[in-house]
Amino acid sequence: MPKLTNQSHEAFAQSFAARRHFGEAAALAGSKADNLSQAGAQIYARPEVKARVRELADKITKPLRMDAQRLITEIARMSSVDYRRFHHEDGTQKGPHELDDDEAACVRGVDRNGRYQFWDKNPPVQLLAKHYKLVGDEGDGVNALASALADRLKTARQRVSAPAPRVVDSTPIDNQEDLA
């Protein structure tokens, strides 16, 4: 979609896509209304403005989106950090510009002395183990539900396959004399 022909609407769309605030976007678009939030909501209600905001927001957020494979790759990077790779042969620490993507993904930050701080390896390792079904989680709601359903199905099958109980005449006895 090309830019909007109305310059104030285009300015509103760009501002709202970035900040998601009606009042700020209306003010940056040049609105002089007393209630900027209400003015912004009225501008946003226009279909062409809404479509432009969606387009601009997609451009902003697209680089931030993460698909399942990228997520697994990031988790794998954090779980397989080798701390020896962060130093040169002579023992000095590599600079941030010398780290490859796998190494940089493992760095949480830098302490006051300039040494790298790393993410904890345990949570990513646990996530990968669960993803590849190497370990089970007994408290997992899906596993608990599946177990409960399997137990109920087993009980029902046993009931169906069991021989029918013998039926005894169920006529009520009125007199004690009939028993003798």
List, as one string, the DSSP characters of 88-154.
-TTSPBPPGGG--HHHHHHEEEE-TTS-EEE--SHHHHHHHHHHTTSS--TT-HHHHHHHHHHHHHH
Q: pLDDT (tens digit, 9 = 90+) per residue, 47-78?
A: 999 999 989 888 877 766 666 777 788 888 88
Dist. CA 50–CA 136, nearest whole Å: 46
pLDDT at 160: 77
Tell whether the torsion through CA atoms of 12, 16, 22 and 24 is positive or negative. negative
Which residue, 11, 59, 55, is CA-closest to 31?
11
pLDDT at 36: 87
pLDDT at 171: 60
Find tokens 């130093």 and name the residue.
87
Residues of the chain with pLDDT under 70: 63-67, 135-146, 164-180
Give the phi and the psi of residue 65 in degrees, each rounded to 5: -70, 145
pLDDT at 144: 63
Sketch the domain layout of the chain as residue ranges. Answer: 7-64
Produce one character per residue of 13-51: b if its CB has 16 or more CB atoms within 10 Å, e if not.
Answer: bbbbbeeeebbbbbbbbebeeeebeebbeebbeeeebee
pLDDT at 78: 83
pLDDT at 88: 93
What is this structure's pTM? Answer: 0.39
